[in-house]
Structure 1
């Protein structure tokens, strides 16, 4: 049995304290006045919330001497002290499991990656994957020893239907898992508190707190690659869905006469724009035996007209899918990411064209941002869910 790490209770005993901490975490350093304004709280509430966090070392208040100009002369008036998160106060581990590999990162409290590791998946059975996860976590814990700071939690991100409240993977198509109590099993093998979430939702948490969604109340993350995923933030909260399913735009029908999807319907976005589906269609139009997306992209870049048409059709489908999200939720921004962005130049024009043509009215004003993120960043998203679990009792 691995050692069990003594859990530390985060000293935020009220929702206001958690809110102030996450505000400083995402936007800091901030003065108390700025933190109060951003959080929509009174100055008295901020003072009450900040005190135990400073006493426990999670927040640090810079003194007047630290904020004084380099000239040494005091600034006019009494400067407002800045409050910031002590990033080195705690460490977290994030794990992203794919069908082919396991990506692990060790991050600080501000979710900055300190160490990254990657191991292949020897077999997809839960027992084999858990053994690899445990070994990777042990490596990262060894690395953490060098920082002299405790690891407070581990987040695991998996594609598919994930019940984050129960810590269970209900269905993962790439791993062929059903009803795996992953959080419980991983906690037993690693000795750490473990959170489990859908990989796109985990990436969305990282974008909300530390990335292109910071400061936005309503935005979406759309991922393009082996699957077509979507993470949603509505009124400042990541949408998990009543049953662990939300944002499944990959199975929104964008062309009723389109190709069959593995889900049983026809013309799903996934069937038109998923990596495997694109590769299969390229094989059909070229009569070649290409094996992966890299070869398909190479053919398109070489100017093969049939292959370029496959990507153009995929781009139109993605644009319509994003427009559906914009029409339903009215987000300020949609962040487009995923391994499929390696082919972005082949369908960027079609994505934007179809989005503009399909978005209704002012929904077309939604800002589209591309963020090519490697799998280490998805693992960072898993670490972000562990940080969220540690500091926020309400999520």
Structure 2
């Protein structure tokens, strides 16, 4: 098995080096001039930043044949050597653990899923350790070390402290999961909220690449929201930000697990929809799939439940857009399987509630399987590796 202990640190722990590296990672290959322009750094700063990265093999610089032919002269391009290191990303749900092995460019090389028989921290930790062990065995075939483990968990997660303060789906409170996982696996661990982790991946590689301000809204078991403002993923002073699921849209609405009434999540989360469909129709649907099937079959009560969910989501999105004015809102999550049942209500309610030109915000859908959420966890591990330790800073 590959040694779980990293043999090296990123060769240039400076803001400029991290900035150049992530710029090339997200937008490369790039010439030094283009990298400087995108990172808003001087040519001298770029030269200083890239030198140790080139020497250590994290960046490579060579002439691209197509560009050379197009320009009629050599064009040396900076790019990340994805094979230089490996990382593990893990998404923990209430039912299973999804793990991926990625390269330095966060490309998934191996993916695994392990069912959970119990949601207790001890049992989850044991399943996690076994999954990571399997991925480390897979890493042997690549000939490079695994340098970090990213963990993504739903709920109130304090990345700086490495603690799950509250996860409703796991029923955890104040679990020091990062430290426990580090002891169990021997790897440096970055723990973050699952939606924020997915937001990092979308910012670097997905529908948010190149945007300085966007929001990622996830629908499904919960209603989450990741925020990027002025190019930075926002966590908030207390490690909590973007909780669109707990925006009150109906003060007289159903009770939410957070203790308030009429939250978006209390109306539009999967469990809330299933419970409401049972109540309205009298049909004891077993799960989301049966609720969706009933609505697709034309049951008016079920369709009304989904319409109400769409209105709640649309109002929540409008609240985010009115407050922050993002260029784009990306809607994702497992709840997109029912998107046709509430897409119109999301669109119409958003348009009605958005203030003025905020309604021009580009709202788009992007289905992402849980392997992509695990990839987001790996992205946070890469982020921790190449930049200042987030335990030492507040965003």
TM-score for the superposition, normalised by structure 1: 0.96
Find the aligned partners of 2:242 and 2:344 in 1 and give their Cα distance: 24
Asked if 1:181 corresponds to 2:160, the answer is no
Q: 1:339 deviation in Å?
A: 0.6
Find the aligned partners of 2:356 and 2:8 in 1 and give their Cα distance: 50
Contact 2:20/2:46, CA 8 A, preserved across alignment:
yes
Match of 1:90 in 2: 85
Asked if 1:59 corresponds to 2:54, the answer is no
Q: 1:262 deviation in Å?
A: 2.0
Contact 1:124/1:175, CA 8 A, preserved across alignment:
yes
Match of 2:101, SS state, is strand
The change in CA–CA distance for 1:394 and 1:219 in structure 2 (over 3 A counts) is farther
Asked if 1:103 corresponds to 2:98, the answer is yes
Q: 1:289 deviation in Å?
A: 1.3
Find the aligned partners of 1:25 and 1:239 in 2 and give their Cα distance: 20
Structure 2 residues not aligned, in runs of 5+: 391-395
Deviations 1:349-395 (A, max 9, x none): 11010000000011111111111111111101100000000001164
Asked if 1:309 corresponds to 2:301, the answer is no
Q: 1:224 deviation in Å?
A: 0.3
Match of 2:160 in 1: 165
Contact 2:13/2:386, CA 8 A, preserved across alignment:
no
Match of 1:114, SS state, is strand
Contact 1:115/1:143, CA 8 A, preserved across alignment:
yes
Q: 1:163 deviation in Å?
A: 0.6
Match of 1:146, SS state, is helix
Contact 1:319/1:354, CA 8 A, preserved across alignment:
yes
Find the aligned partners of 2:365 and 2:227 in 1 and give their Cα distance: 16
Find the aligned partners of 1:75 and 1:248 in 2 and give their Cα distance: 48
Find the aligned partners of 2:195 and 2:349 in 1 and give their Cα distance: 23
Contact 1:15/1:394, CA 8 A, preserved across alignment:
no
Match of 1:266 in 2: 261
Find the aligned partners of 1:65 and 1:117 in 2 and give their Cα distance: 37
Contact 1:23/1:35, CA 8 A, preserved across alignment:
yes
Match of 1:356 in 2: 351
Structure 1 residues not aligned, in runs of 5+: none
Contact 1:156/1:195, CA 8 A, preserved across alignment:
yes
Match of 2:231 in 1: 236
Find the aligned partners of 2:161 and 2:286 in 1 and give their Cα distance: 37
Match of 1:130 in 2: 125
Deviations 1:41-96 (A, max 9, x none): 11111111111111110111013768543xxxx953x3331110001111100000
Match of 1:202 in 2: 197
Match of 1:44 in 2: 44
Q: Of residues 254, 260, 274 in structure 2, which corresponds to 1:279?
A: 274
TM-score for the superposition, normalised by structure 2: 0.96
Kindly report structure 1 stretches of 4+ aligned residues shifted beyond 2 Å: 63-69
Match of 2:5, SS state, is coil
Contact 2:219/2:334, CA 8 A, preserved across alignment:
yes
Aligned residues: 389
Match of 2:17 in 1: 17
Contact 2:4/2:146, CA 8 A, preserved across alignment:
no
RMSD of aligned residue pairs (Cα, Å): 1.4
Q: 1:3 deviation in Å?
A: 5.7
Find the aligned partners of 1:350 and 1:122 in 2 and give their Cα distance: 37
Q: Of residues 364, 367, 370 in structure 2, which corresponds to 1:372?
A: 367
Q: 1:14 deviation in Å?
A: 2.0
Match of 1:225 in 2: 220
